[in-house]
Copies of this chain bind each other. A is one copy, B any other.
């Protein structure tokens, strides 16, 4: 439990300072200014008081109990101070000081030192190299942070790896008038992790939604489990930066921990139903809609507008966001005809025209609320100077208060004019989320709608699959491990596939030409012959693969040719396999992701993967629903169904194949990389025709 951190009854500031612009002074000031209801104990070796509060020379001098201490002293003194905190019975510390793991080896040693002492005394550590936390609860008002925004109480809790982005989000929410519950930015996160904070927010009744910023997770599996738990109860809006190679490099430079573009974080968001953003402004604006509006039951939106062009822009953006702008029912149109001006357009968007007042807006909203074909309402409201704009705002508020469908408003006005400030005040008081332009408003409604989709999506549980001999596969791998082999032989690979019921083109591994012919006779022509050697990397380029061999003579010749050409690599073995031309080439791959499990990749083979990079990923275990989504979400999905009169492939078998591979990976975590490339898919069958496993 992080209560000592987020709900401290007394805070010590170790390193409080009389200097106006120092962090130790700013934190003291923030606690004062925000109106902290607990006790503040500044520590300073010389000053008798800091900002009018009695200061102490050491923790021993502090008369009462302390839940939380800020530590703002040079890094080399931190370990001893943490021990002192432990002795004082302090339960949590926020180490604002920098100079630890982010500064190389020496800093990392100091960090290990203070962490060991903290564990000894049961002190939880937040940071180091961090901002701190805020709890806006009017009964506590804990501003344990050196930032400059004073958030209003509310229901959105923020956690950000980067203090800069955290402060930005906090400020943006504040600017929009959105209240906040908790705020946390934990820097190096050596002990209290983002996962733990998100879990705490999940359990907090005052938190209705969570906003999260990260550049990756040190323990992604832990986060995945926590996120699954929390998203079942409340929405998480998240942004992951370092998406591009150069962005990842920038991230790695400031956190000192991550490198390379990771796709796993986005996949975790997808798997757990976290709504992902790439623009921090969009995320914060969406939060406004989440803080007051219901989640729409579907993607059909009705628009009301008193000006033409902004409705066109809104429609474009809503459609971009996956919403539908349906034709209204005849009944709705008839009702509109009764209530709207003659020049109004009674379609969707409903153009009530610039002269529309409260009654026209109200009637249009009522129609959309009762229209079965509409799940949400978008309003363009320009404050036409010849209308009673306050009356319009009042109607929007009144409808929004009782509506079961979300209402989002694009409110176009000049707020430097008092009369329009008043109109805005009515919307704001009334809890209507409004934005200054149609694209922003449409994206906010798009986010609500996307979240509704995530909420309704149930990926289910991994299925238990029949015909799996996990023990056999495990023993093959263990044997390879004992033999010190990291690339498995063809025999091993195909035997493992067979143990998991993965269909493989008929095969046999042989030692010489005579055996090859015998195997080919048994398998049936045409066949492929491939050299089976760990030593030879690019078999095709080396002449180690010959396809479409139609008779015994060709098989013999192929084997003999390889023996003479590739003999220098040692004694060779050969894989003889049924040749299966004419199918659709698929590819399924997997890589182990540190601290997470495996990422499974699916796509069309050949040029589709090479030129178009048309592949999709999921985190194992992959459920049936997720496997279906994989087939449906490649750009060339139509090819799986067959085009130009061709037959499609057997998708059910591919879905089963993906699940079997997922099971295999889950059972055998020592697999580092696996490729089935290609898989040949036909209308009635699917076969892996080449496979590779690295452990």
Interface residues of A (CB under 8 A from B): 21-23, 26, 98-99, 103, 146-149, 160-168, 171-172, 174-175, 213, 215, 239, 241-247, 249-251, 253-255, 278-281, 303, 305, 307-313, 315-317, 319-320, 324-325, 343, 345, 347, 349, 351, 380, 382-383, 385-388, 412-417, 420, 436-440, 607, 610-612, 635-636, 638-639, 643-644
- Chain A at the B interface: mostly helix, strand, loop or mixed? mixed
**What are 10 inter-chain pairs, A to B, with CB distance below 8 A?**
A99-B343, A147-B385, A149-B414, A164-B380, A166-B309, A168-B412, A175-B436, A250-B311, A280-B313, A610-B644
Q: Hey, which chain B residues are within 8 Å of A347, CB to CB?
A: 253
Q: Hey, which chain B residues are within 8 Å of A312, CB to CB?
A: 162, 215, 241-242, 247, 250-251, 254
How many monomers of this chain does the complex have? 2
Taking a contact as CB atoms closer than 8 A, the residue among B163, B324, B325, B438 that contacts A309 in the complex is B163
Let me know if A26 and B380 touch, CB within 8 A: no
Q: Which residue of B lies closest to A346 (CB)?
A: B253
Cα distance A149–B412 when bound, in Å? 11
Q: Hey, which chain B residues are within 8 Å of A307, CB to CB?
A: 162-165, 167
Taking a contact as CB atoms closer than 8 A, the residue among B148, B174, B253, B439 that contacts A383 in the complex is B148
Given contacts A103-B343, A386-B146, contact A413 B171 (CB under 8 A): yes
Let me know if B171 and A311 touch, CB within 8 A: no
Let me know if A325 and B246 touch, CB within 8 A: yes
Q: Hey, which chain B residues are within 8 Å of A251, CB to CB?
A: 308, 312
Q: Which residue of B lies closest to A17 (CB)?
A: B386
Q: Which residue of B lies closest to A213 (CB)?
A: B309
Q: Hey, which chain B residues are within 8 Å of A167, CB to CB?
A: 307, 382, 412
Interface-central residue, A103, A247, A388, A607, by most chain B CB under 10 Å: A247
Cα distance A165–B319 when bound, in Å? 19
Let me know if A246 and B414 touch, CB within 8 A: no
What 9 additional pairs, Cβ within 8 angstroms, besides A23-B386, A164-B308, A281-B439?
A: A162-B310, A162-B312, A174-B414, A213-B309, A239-B313, A244-B319, A250-B312, A611-B638, A612-B612
Q: Hey, which chain B residues are within 8 Å of A99, CB to CB?
A: 343
Let me know if A309 and B162 touch, CB within 8 A: yes
Cα distance A607–B645 when bound, in Å? 12
Cα distance A644–B253 when bound, in Å? 37
Cα distance A167–B309 when bound, in Å? 10
Q: Hey, which chain B residues are within 8 Å of A612, CB to CB?
A: 612, 635-636
